[in-house]
Every structure is written in structure tokens, then in C-alpha cells.
Structure 1
């Protein structure tokens, strides 16, 4: 199979460069080594972006580190908060969940993306550093995300945030966790969300997409990696009949009452079929949903091939949706219980 047959020619060079960098595909067989390598790459990229952005005058953003209390005796959850400095008024906020197949990554990996989101929307962005599988399988990652969400809502006034305009979002596995978080927030009824921003989300542990020219197994996030990630999250039970919708959003039986959703995915992404199926189910459940499919685009193309016309369209569409939803008439959030505000620094 020609993995490049249906890929946008403008996106192909960056894909080839990525595959050379990672030796063809990400190797999840040695997670400690892969995690260490990713930390080094993220640190180098963050340092380079900060150097390029350095200029005289006031900073456009403040970035602070916090710790949200964990649930039921669990460890505290680190949260990195990006806040534009141009206004002192309460800001809408996006709780961002990073990707990494449930087994990789941290809150710092999307630093450039989150700075851009905070400035361009504008809004505050809170990146949650949830615990990773397989060391911490479901429900630990989701409960960490919920703890961060509840803390944000409960401490909004002290953080300069608007508790009536809170969104959740993420990419890949982070998008899957964000979708599960929206389900959990609906059912626990403590925080009402403005919207959910799901970027090529990882939603279905059954790995249902058929292999083919439009969905090659070897591009960026492979079918083998997908099995590995889901089995890590679900303690080796990926695809089991009893999988909860709080673990894999595609398994949720009831979608009514969820916040408006935005789902974006490339036509050459392994998650294409499950993302379209979830968008269809949301629509049928009466959830206001926008679905965008990008022709010739693969998983993570917006970051791998940043600067291309396709990536610019993806970013403009994403930011426009978030800007529109967070500037709309705010929805009333239910008050949270008092939660202590603890600064990590």
C-alpha cells in the first residue's frame, strides 16, 4: 500500500521528515526511553519558541503553575495556566488535555499551541498534567482532568476567569479524554460547559476503522500504537464489551445533554471513521455539532506540517469556533464546593 497515495502533496514532505525523525513510526515498546526523548524535544522546541518570541515591551501572557486537589485522596493535579495580560476582566477559559495515546506527553508539550490560542481567541488556557497509563489506568487520567475542571470553576474569581464560559478540549488522546470529561461533567452536574473542542479525538477502543488507502496504518499514529494505547488505559481490556463511555466516549449510550461539540479530523487519519460516527450520534442526540474533515490530511498534520495552507485552514477554523462559542451569551454554571487554591511555585 502506498501510504502517500491520498495525502495532500503539500503535507507529504513534512510527513516524510517526521517519519525519518522517529524511525518510521513511534515505538511504544520502550515507554521510558520514548518519554525521555519527547521531553527533550519539547524542551528544545519550547526554548526555541521563547527565544524567537522575545521582544521588548510588556509580555502578552502570564504563565503560572498551580496544583488542583486530586479526587478522593489522589495526588494533586498540576495545571499550567496561560492568561492574556491585555485585560483584567474575567476571561473565558479552555481546559486543555494533551495528547499522547494515554501513555505519553505532559502539559508542557503544547506550550506554543496554547500560547497562540490564548492570544488569538483570546482566552485563558489551563493545561492539565494528568497521570499516564499504564502506570495509572482508567479512571485516573479522567479523574485528574475532572479535578482540574472542578478546581477551575471553583476558583475562577481568584484566577480572573469567568466560570460561566468554560470549555474543554484536546487533541488525539486528549480529545478523547475531553469528550469523556464532557460526559462526566454532564452527569455529575457540578460544572456546565460552554463547548467541547475535539481535535482528531481518540474515541473508540474497538479500533474499528478499516485499513485502506484513505486510512493507512503506518501514518503517524499506527493501528498497533492504537491497540497499545487503549490496552494501557484499559488494563489490557481494549475492545471488551464492558468498556465504559467514561473511558472511551464512543461507547457512551446516551449523548443527549452534552455541550456543543466541534470535531476536526483529517481524511487520512486512523480516527476518521470513529470521529464521523461520533459526530453523527451527537447530532442525532440533539447536540449542536460541527464536523470538519480535511482532505488529504493525516493525524496531527496541523503541528507536523505547520505553516502549510491546510494547517492554516485548520487553525483558523478551530480558533474561529472557540472564539464564537466563548464570546456567545454565557451559560450559567452550577457552583462548585469551595476548593483550596494552592500555588505550586
Structure 2
């Protein structure tokens, strides 16, 4: 059972409808009423198959509220066991549109709409950044796809990986459930962001990853592709650790280092990255 630390955070709940389905939203705000704050769509992990929006309390999303005064919207997107791709993508994009529409009343600066998430949530954050760029309805200022699940093909680090928490077997299973018969095919980059060919115009990015987890190679490739397209992008690499170590061991030396660096990079983004919204 999860124990959610709500200290320093006030929350409210609402829902939207996307393609006829109800999508619950958890909205986290600082205790003091936010004004002109960064707004972050934070997407939970779980291999697209499991997880819940309340995981925002135990991961890095809560840091953004407590330490930086951000407003976080965590969508309870439909999981892939009963709703394969593209339902989760459409759910999260609907939440992004909600954030833009209600930015002022939520205390969000419309020019600082950002996205982030862990693992599969990081994959959806990357996919939403691409989808939003191509749709042209919302301009995203910054993306934080932490150790993202973005490649449906095996890489040098996801092939023959037997690490704890996440490994090759679980990775293959999760992609098979999310993409069904297309799990090992060339799919849209909205389904598997590693399939992207055009990285131009995507938001600046920050992420971190460890060397022994399956997503090590795809994370570095993603950051390198952004850099090659002229997009500011940075990655921190932690040696010998396992997937989502910052959530499992936040008080370990490596966990503390990762969390400190993550907060430092978000503080920089808050100061430097803006994306004005187009008026209709």
C-alpha cells in the first residue's frame, strides 16, 4: 500500500471527457495560492499497464510543488490492459488542453506549460511533446521524461537485461499489451517516441537514468537526437543502479544526488524556458 505524503500540498480533483471516456485529474498546488506558476502535466509510470495518478505524491512531481511553487496536473489515464494505444496518449493530451484552457484560474503562467513523468509516464511525456508540436494547439516550454520507456525495439541495454524492478521480460510484456500486434513493428512516434525522425521544434529537455536499467540506451539516444536538432537537452547518468532508484531509495546517496540535480535543472527551466501560446 502506498503512503502519500501530502505535506505542503493542497489538492483537488476534477475530470474531463476524452473520446467519450471519463479521465480523472489530480491537481496539486502549493498551500499558498499560486500565481503565474509553472504548470506541469505529470504522467505516472507503470509500463503503460499499471499505476495511478496519486503516484505524483511519491515521485518527483511533488518536489515541483513544494520546492518550486509549480502547479501539477496528474491524469488518471486509461491503462493498456483494456485500453491499448492510443487511449493513454489521447487522455494525456486532453489533460494538456485542460491545463491550457484553465491556466489562469489554476494560477499557471500560460507560457510555462511543461510536461514530465517517470518511466512509461516519461514515454508519454515525450510522445505528448511530439503530438503537441505537430497539432499546434499547445506550446510546451520544457519536458522532463525521466528514464523514459520510449523504444518498442530492443536496444543494447534492454536486450538480455535481468535487473530488478524492470527488465527485458517485463519490457516485452508491457509493449505487447500497449501496442498489441504492433509491438515489434515500425509504429508512430506518438506510440513509441524512439521512432521519431524529426526532432526539430521539440521542447528543451532534462532527464536522468542509470547504467544497468533497460532504458539507459534509449534515454541517451533521445537526448542526443534532441541535441543534434539544436534543442537544449541534458541527461545525468548514475552508475550501477536500477530503474526508478530515486523513488525506491530517495534517501540513499545516489537518490539524494539525483533529486538534487533534478530540482536544480527544474529551477533553471523555470527561469529560462518559456513558450507563448497561440491565440485562436
Normalising by the residue count of structure 2, what TM-score does the alignment of the two structures yield?
0.94
What residue number does 2:22 align with? 76
Alignment deviations for residues 280-316 of structure 1 (CA, whole Å, 9 cap, x no partner): 1111111111111111221010011120111011111
CA deviation after TM superposition for structure 1 residue 210, in Å: 4.6
Match of 1:197 among 144, 147, 171: 144
**Secondary structure in 2 matching 1:236:** helix
Q: How far, CA to CA, are the matches of 1:81 and 1:205 in structure 2?
A: 31
* Higher RCO (Cα < 8 Å, 6 or more apart): 1
Q: Structure 1 residue runs of 4+, over 6 Å off?
A: none
> Unpaired runs of 5+ in structure 2?
none
Give the match for residue 139 of structure 1.
Answer: 86
Q: Secondary structure at the match of 1:80?
A: strand
**Which of 179, 184, 188 is the aligned partner of 1:239?**
184
Give the CA deviation at 1:195: 0.6
Q: Paired residue for 1:169?
A: 116
Q: 1:331 to 1:226 in 2, by over 3 A?
A: same
Given that 1:200 and 1:264 are in contact with CA atoms closer than 8 Å, whether structure 2 keeps it comes out as yes
1:252 Cα deviation after fit = 1.0
Alignment of 1:149-164 (within 5 A): 149-164=96-111
Query: Which residue of 1 is the match for residue 58 of structure 2?
Result: 112
Name 1:280's counterpart in structure 2.
224
1:217 aligns with 2:165: no
Give ranges in structure 1 of 5+ residues lacking alignment.
1-40, 54-59, 337-345
> Relative to 1, partners in 2 of residues 1:283 and 1:211: Cα closer, same or farther, differing over 3 Å?
closer
Q: CA deviation at 1:220?
A: 1.2
Whether 1:330 aligns to 2:277 is no
Map 1:1-345 onto structure 2 (within 5 A). 41-42=1-2, 45-46=3-4, 49=5, 53=7, 60-70=8-18, 73-113=19-59, 114-210=61-157, 216-241=161-186, 243-328=187-272, 330-335=274-279
Q: 2:33, 2:107 within 8 Å by CA — same for their partners in 1?
A: no
Matched pairs, number: 279
Distance 2:88 2:119 in 1: 14
CA shift, 1:74, in A, is: 2.6
Kindly indicate whether the alpha-carbon contact (under 8 Å) linking 2:164 and 2:242 is maintained by their aligned counterparts in 1. Answer: yes
Partner of 1:29: none
CA contact (8 A) 1:209 1:271 kept: no
Q: Is the 8 A contact 1:207 1:226 kept in 2?
A: no
Relative to structure 1, is the Cα distance of residues 67 and 316 closer, same or farther in structure 2, using a 3 angstrom cutoff? same
TM-score using structure 1 length: 0.77
More strand by share: 2
